[in-house]
Structure 1
Amino acid sequence: MMTERHSQPEFFVLWHARHLAVEEDGEAIHRDLDGGIHLDEEEWRILGIYRDREMAEARGQDAKQLPGFRDEPDCFCISPLMLDEDLWTDGYFTEYPEGIQED
């Protein structure tokens, strides 16, 4: 017998992107021309998962004072997350630099 899936509480994940891509002048590329977070050659860190958006935003403001995070204060992102929701359902693809092959 199938049971109906009940909606689960929504939580909020606070992320921070550390950018590795650099301009010709050596400065990190943080934002694209449209103002969005640059999504090429970055490392993402999860700072925490919170019950509401306000808690995640407050933690992000506090983290902007910490080493590493304060170097990229505009690179925080908050994503909603549902419990018991399947993610990465289609697998993933790794793009390797030229000359490097997967074993």
Structure 2
Amino acid sequence: MDVYLLRHIHHARPLDGSPTRHGDDDGDLDWDEHEGDEVKLLGVYSTEQRAQERIREAQTLPGFRNEPDCFHIDKCQVDKDDRTSGYFTYRY
């Protein structure tokens, strides 16, 4: 069974005054929590269509409407393990 996780990314403004970056060079949504970007989980939905409907509703709300293109839907399988080989933390 697949589910759809819906997140919104609030991008932090760079301290050097440069423009806020919302996407990578390919135009895909980009974020970095180490740089102050905030990721908010809006919900888990049974279909992508329901997640899209929630995006349309959220785009009218304070905060979300300031970054209306910064929603991300992730398709996940229920009961499927992830990160089965552990993880590594990078030190900056």
Task: Please give the TM-score of this superposition, normalised by the length of structure 1.
Answer: 0.72
Q: For 1:54-92, what per-residue CA distance to the aligned partner results, in whole angstroms no more than 9, with x for missing partners?
A: 000000111111122111111111111111011222333
Q: 1:67 aligns with which of 27, 47, 62?
A: 62
Report which structure shows greater RCO (CA 8 Å, sep ≥6): 2
Q: Which has the larger radius of gyration?
A: 1
Larger helix share, 1 or 2:
2
- 2:83 aligned with 1:91: no
Mapped partners of 1:21, 1:96: distance in 2: 22
Mapped pair 1:58 → 2:50: no
1:80 to 75, 79, 82: 75
Instruction: Report runs of 4+ in structure 1 exceeding 3 Å deviation.
Output: 23-27
Once residues 38 and 23 of structure 1 are traced to their aligned partners in structure 2, the CA distance between those partners, rounded to angstroms, is 18
* Identity across the alignment (%): 38
Closer, same or farther: CA 21–87 of 1 in aligned 2, 3 Å: farther
Work out whether residues 23 and 29 of structure 1, in 8 Å CA contact, stay in contact via their aligned partners in 2.
no
Matched residue, 1:19: 11
Code of the residue aligned with 1:80 in structure 2: it is K
Cα drift, residue 22 of structure 1? 2.4
User: Take 1:23 and 1:34, find their aligned partners in 2: how far apart are those partners?
Assistant: 24
Return the alpha-carbon distance in structure 1 between the equivalents of residues 76 and 88 of structure 2. 23
How has the CA–CA distance of structure 1 residues 86 and 29 changed in structure 2, closer, same or farther, with 3 Å as cutoff?
A: same
RMSD: 2.0
User: AA paired with 1:29?
Assistant: R
**Structure 2 segments unaligned to the other structure (5+ residues):** none
Structure 2: distance between partners of 1:66 and 1:52:
22
